[in-house]
Amino acid sequence: MRVPKIVVVGGGWGGCAAAAAARKAGAEVILLERADMLLGTGLVGGIFRNNGRFTAAEEMLEMGADIFSVMDNCVTHTNVEFPGHKHASLYNVYRIEPAVKEYLMKLGVKIFTTARVIDVAKEGRKVSCVVVEGLEPIQADAFVDATGTSAVPANCTKYGNGCAMCILRCHSFGPRISITTKVGVEEWIGKKPDGSSIGAMSGSCKLCKDSIDPQIVKELEEKGSALVPVPLEVREEEKLLSMKACQQYALEEFIENLVLLDTGPVKLMTPFFPLERLRKVPGMERARYEDPIAGGKGNSMRYFGFANCTPELQAIGPVDNLFCAGEKAGAMVGHTEAIVSGTLAGHNAVRQVIGEKLLRFPDEIAVGDFVNHVIGEMKKEEGRQYKYTFSGSIYFKRMKEKNLYTTDVKVIKERVKKAGLKSIFDTKLL
Ligand SMILES: Cc1cc2nc3c(=O)[nH]c(=O)nc-3n(C[C@H](O)[C@H](O)[C@H](O)COP(=O)(O)OP(=O)(O)OC[C@H]3O[C@@H](n4cnc5c(N)ncnc54)[C@H](O)[C@@H]3O)c2cc1C
């Protein structure tokens, strides 16, 4: 049988996971990333294994998605607690990208950075090739859209506080272009039902370690997290609660304190905080933003452009050979969540090409309930006003109600075995 060729567009966690899964299933894989580094928003994140993300990561590892081991190998801290969150691991945001790149290269994924896809061509019900800025068009048998839902400065200007100069660096590498839009797949924007808020602002910033009180840095490096009380006059409750993208952090403790985490730099768990006010918080008198550089003013706006797709993550529309990964597949927030959908999308892209039945995760495993539930919710106007994550808010509640949350690795392994999915992503399909 001819080796299927899969092109993955977008090198965030969703795209990297899709590329790894397609390659492990036996395909030739090309990964195209618009910027000069992989990982997209994952370049500034770092939190994983918190709350239900622990269960999800262990299920995926048991199924063969060992990209989670790359994260585990780059941690600054494990078992970190912060308000509303237990047993978090934090990866070092400086070490993670080269590690993921090396992992993908070892698998044999061909990676092109500064390779922005600007158009696609179709033949009948198939995407035949993608047009890449400065390169020859690239043909493939199936494609994965993992372009995310941010990186459009016009959205940051219209719906946020303007470009805050974040890691996505749109002005240097060009804005996101969605493959699903290009081929005419229906897309949705996350918004409140009354339309009062469109998209959502990203929920954390990075501060330079050298710019904050060494005592706070010491605590951070020892424990992984630190709470720094915010004086009453500095609090901005209204703004924080209404603008949060990450509903799992919309808690009182996040208003009364600066919640800081050590991910290499200092992760400040708030979308933005005016610098003058931040410097009134004891210990932060000389604070300086590392990302976004204008973190005193705003942050990236996300959740524009979820594509209509099936629970197998196949795009629904005029083509059959296009799959969706990461935030593109729905309002799923997080690295873990993007790896879950990315792995499934990449694996199913190969199945589609070789004519095998697409894999649908069963509801009996946490990642299955998550993907199937969120994809269902995306079809409803009211479902699109929420964000879904294993780590908190409405989905973590559902996960607990359904008895899917556990930190008992033995139980997780048994669950995956019972579903017949052990090592499924480590097995060649041809
Ligand atoms: C500031 C911030 C902090 C966060 N912190 C955490 C955290 O601590 N823990 C956590 O779990 N989650 C966190 N998140 C959320 C998490 O990063 C995302 O939900 C998840 O990583 C999304 O992955 P993705 O692959 O879907 O999209 P993205 O990360 O957006 O990646 C999409 C990629 O596609 C590329 N691309 C777009 N268009 C094109 C094109 N036309 N051609 C080629 N490439 C293209 C982009 O450059 C980008 O690299 C954070 C997000 C932000 C913004």
Atom of ligand 1 nearest to the CA of 32: 43
In the sheet that 266-268 helps form, which strands lie side by side, from edge to edge? 225-229, 257-262, 266-268, 205-207, 289-291
The CB of 331 under 6 Å from ligand 1? The reply is no
Q: How far apart are CA 137 and CA 366, in angstroms?
A: 39
- Is residue 218 predicted with pLDDT exceeding 50? yes
Q: What is the pLDDT of residue 16?
A: 99
Under a CB-based contact definition with an 8 Å cutoff, are residues 199 and 189 in contact?
Answer: yes
Q: What is the pLDDT of residue 24?
A: 98
| CA-proximal residue: ligand 1, atom 7 (nearest) | 45
- Is residue 243 predicted with pLDDT exceeding 60? no
| Best residue for ligand 1 mutational test, from 50, 91, 118, 147 (most atoms within 8 Å of Cβ) | 147
- Residue 75 Cα to ligand 1 middle (Å): 19
- Is residue 245 predicted with pLDDT exceeding 80? no
- Is residue 236 predicted with pLDDT exceeding 70? no
Q: How far apart are CA 326 and CA 332, in angstroms?
A: 7
Under a CB-based contact definition with an 8 Å cutoff, are residues 265 and 208 in contact?
Answer: yes
Under a CB-based contact definition with an 8 Å cutoff, are residues 292 and 205 in contact?
Answer: yes
The maximal CA–CA distance of the chain, rounded, in angstroms, is 69
The CB of 160 under 6 Å from ligand 1? The reply is no
Q: How far apart are CA 36 and CA 169, in angstroms?
A: 10
Spans of all domains in the chain: 5-196+301-426, 203-291
Q: What is the pLDDT of residues 69-115, one digit of tens each?
A: 999 999 999 999 999 999 999 999 999 999 999 999 999 999 999 99
**For range 139-165, the mean pLDDT:** 97
Q: How far apart are CA 50 and CA 52, in angstroms?
A: 6
Rg of the chain (C-alpha set): 20
**For range 112-135, the mean pLDDT:** 97
Atom of ligand 1 nearest to the CA of 292: 1
- Residue 411 Cα to ligand 1 middle (Å): 31
- Is residue 234 predicted with pLDDT exceeding 90? no
| Best residue for ligand 1 mutational test, from 41, 169, 247, 323 (most atoms within 8 Å of Cβ) | 41
Question: Alpha helices of 73-193 — where are they, by DSSP H?
Answer: 96-107, 153-159, 170-173, 179-183
The CB of 148 under 6 Å from ligand 1? The reply is yes
Atom of ligand 1 nearest to the CA of 13: 25
Burial 349-367 (b: 16+ CB within 10 A, else e): bbbbbbeeebbebebebbb
Q: How far apart are CA 343 and CA 92, in angstroms?
A: 22
Under a CB-based contact definition with an 8 Å cutoff, are residues 151 and 168 in contact?
Answer: yes
Residue 229 carries which side chain, given as an amino acid letter? P
Q: What is the pLDDT of residues 313-363, one digit of tens each?
A: 999 999 999 999 999 999 999 999 999 999 999 999 999 999 999 999 999
Q: How far apart are CA 282 and CA 379, in angstroms?
A: 47
Q: What is the pLDDT of residue 247?
A: 60
- Residue 42 Cα to ligand 1 middle (Å): 5
Q: How far apart are CA 90 and CA 68, in angstroms?
A: 12
Atom of ligand 1 nearest to the CA of 328: 26
CATH class of the domain whose range is 5-196+301-426: alpha beta
Which tokens in the block code for residue 409?
């690795």
Atom of ligand 1 nearest to the CA of 42: 17
- Residue 184 Cα to ligand 1 middle (Å): 23
Under a CB-based contact definition with an 8 Å cutoff, are residues 328 and 305 in contact?
Answer: yes
| CA-proximal residue: ligand 1, atom 45 (nearest) | 10
Atom of ligand 1 nearest to the CA of 336: 11
The rounded mean pLDDT for the chain is 95
**For range 278-295, the mean pLDDT:** 97
Q: How far apart are CA 279 and CA 276, in angstroms?
A: 5
The CB of 265 under 6 Å from ligand 1? The reply is no
- Is residue 251 predicted with pLDDT exceeding 90? no
Q: How far apart are CA 111 and CA 48, in angstroms?
A: 25
The CB of 51 under 6 Å from ligand 1? The reply is no
Q: Which residue has the higher pLDDT, 235 or 280?
A: 280
The CB of 146 under 6 Å from ligand 1? The reply is yes
The CB of 12 under 6 Å from ligand 1? The reply is yes
* CA-based end-to-end distance of the chain: 8
Which tokens in the block code for residue 158?
């219209």
